[in-house]
Amino acid sequence: VGILKPERSIPDNILKHAKGLAILTVVKVGVMVTYKVGTGLVIARREDGSWSPPSAISSLGIGWGTQ
């Protein structure tokens, strides 16, 4: 397990008040027409303060014009 650099981690005060967290990896390809696709995980904070089990999510998009 590596050590996270402070500039790449979520600040404690934001994480403490977060209601959920989504971690996505997105790939974007194209020139005039672009396509985006991604996958990731989402977790939610429960009423008792614990975190839910992770759920898989996906993202899909299309765009046009200069990017």
- Write out pLDDT tens, residues 31-49: 889 999 999 999 999 999 9
Backbone angles phi, psi at 12, to 5 degrees: -55, -40
Q: How far apart are CA 64 and CA 31, in angstroms?
A: 8
Tell me the per-residue pLDDT of 1-11, one tens digit each, with 9 for 90 and over: 456 676 778 88
Is 31 a member of any domain? yes
Model pLDDT, residue 4: 63
Is 45 a member of any domain? yes
In terms of residue numbers, what domain contains 60? 19-64
Q: How many domains does the chain have?
A: 1
Q: What is the mean pLDDT of the chain?
A: 89
Side by side, the strands of the sheet bearing 55-64 are 20-30, 33-44, 55-64
Is 48 a member of any domain? yes
Model pLDDT, residue 18: 94
Is 28 a member of any domain? yes
pLDDT for 30 beyond 70:
yes
Query: Is the Cα torsion angle 45, 1, 8, 5 positive or negative in sign?
Result: positive
